[in-house]
Amino acid sequence: MVPLKKARIAVLALMFLLPFSPFAFSGNWEEQRVIDRSNEFENRMANLFNGRRESVVRVSGYFQREDGTMGVRTGSGFFVREDGCVVTTAGAVEGAGEILVEYGSRVYRAAVLGVDLPTNLAVLRPLAEEQGSFSHFSLGDGQPLPEPTTPLLGITCEAGLDPSPCLGVVCGHHICYGTHYFPTTYLRTSLPSNAGAPGSPVFDLRGGFVGILMASIPQVNGSFLLPARAVRRILCDLLIGGTTQYAYVGLGTRLSRDENGECVVRVDRVDPESPAAAAKITVGDRILAIDDQPILGVAELHDLLFFATPNGSLSLRLLRGSETLRVLVRTTSRQF
């Protein structure tokens, strides 16, 4: 009887202690963990937004219409230097008779310092009497393109409102949209792009600059971003000389398939008296690599030419028939 009595006592003790055991609280712990992670995400977003919002501005370009009345285009932008230089879209300011930049409760006049037509990017500078010290942030230093599903925070002045946060993710990398080819690979995102949003800076969760919101995709309620690496490349030219310099090679390409069904990039145009013509490149040549970087599609080709040095050189590896050739192309400079 003693062992049975001890067993009953053990069962009663177990029944008493079970509600207080870790197993009983596992559901609550999991719920608390989700809450903690949610709070951490919210705090990170709030800190990032509050730390960057002072650098984001509203940009308004005033134009005279053909009937003599005044029109206005609005967009977003952000400071890239302490002296008040602003990055925005060319569509908001190119050809404007007057440009106003709204910075918190302050409004100042600005002028176009430079425009890059291929990417629709513009840089503004404050007029001499408007100069001061302005909040800005780093554009980074050559990080690779963020992968799909990367969370994003955009800070936008859409609809002429004060800087506001919007959340999304990277959806893909694209060199074209429909039949339109971009000058370099763009990021497709789920960030909305309503009126006034183009020109907004976009960041990842670590606070790193990812790119600039450039255009909307109304069919999927998304947007395209000009990546940070392309922004830095353009700004180097615009801030120094007011114009962009691109390497000119003088050839056109097409995407086709070889006898094995693999995609290949072939030359389908060589401009007369161009660097490509001087290097004896011919129509039909397959481009295998440029500077030892494989060319597997149009995206790799466009990216390499976008970042190529004007008045420099490119080493091309070509397949002509069954013969592999290596040619050196001396690029020239082309302005937009």
- Per residue in 288-323, pLDDT (tens digit) is 999 999 998 889 999 999 999 999 999 999 999 999
Question: Does 254 lie in the same domain as 185?
Answer: no
Position 271, amino acid? D
Question: Does 219 lie in the same domain as 82?
Answer: yes
What percent of the chain stands above pLDDT 90? Answer: 62
Q: How far apart are CA 59 and CA 317, in angstroms?
A: 46
Q: Is residue 238 within 8 Å of residue 244, measured between CB atoms?
A: yes
* pLDDT for 36: 64
Question: Does 125 lie in the same domain as 28?
Answer: yes
Residue 9 confidence class, pLDDT cut points 50, 70, 90 = very low
| Buried b / exposed e along 77-104 (16+ C-beta atoms within 10 A) | bbbbeeebbbbbbbbbbeebeebbbbbe
Rg value, the chain, Cα: 28
The domain boundary residue, chosen from 243, 261, 283: 243
The values of phi and psi at residue 104, to 5°, are 65, -125
Q: Is residue 240 within 8 Å of residue 256, measured between CB atoms?
A: no
The domain boundary residue, chosen from 194, 209, 243: 243
Q: Is residue 60 within 8 Å of residue 100, measured between CB atoms?
A: yes
- Per residue in 83-106, pLDDT (tens digit) is 889 999 999 998 899 999 998 888
**196: domain CATH number?**
2.40.10.120
> pLDDT at residue 268 above 80?
yes
Mean pLDDT value across residues 57-64: 94
To 10 degrees, the CA torsion angle through 288, 291, 173, 41?
A: 140
Question: Does 322 lie in the same domain as 183?
Answer: no
| Buried b / exposed e along 157-186 (16+ C-beta atoms within 10 A) | bbeeeebbbbebebbeeebeeeeeebbbbb
Question: Does 89 lie in the same domain as 11?
Answer: yes
Question: Does 111 lie in the same domain as 124?
Answer: yes
Question: Does 262 lie in the same domain as 225?
Answer: no
Residue 62: name the closest of 54, 73, 51 by CA.
73
The secondary structure element, H or E, covering residue 233 is helix 228-241
Question: Does 250 lie in the same domain as 205?
Answer: no
Question: Does 4 lie in the same domain as 131?
Answer: yes
Predicted TM-score (pTM) of this structure:
0.85
Parent domain of 98 = 1-243
**317: domain CATH number?**
2.30.42.10
Lowest-confidence segment of 7-11, 124-128, 149-153, 196-200 by average pLDDT: 7-11
> pLDDT at residue 82 above 50?
yes
If one counts the domains in the chain, the total is 2
Q: Could you give the 3-state DSSP secondary structure of residue 117?
A: coil
Question: Does 216 lie in the same domain as 253?
Answer: no
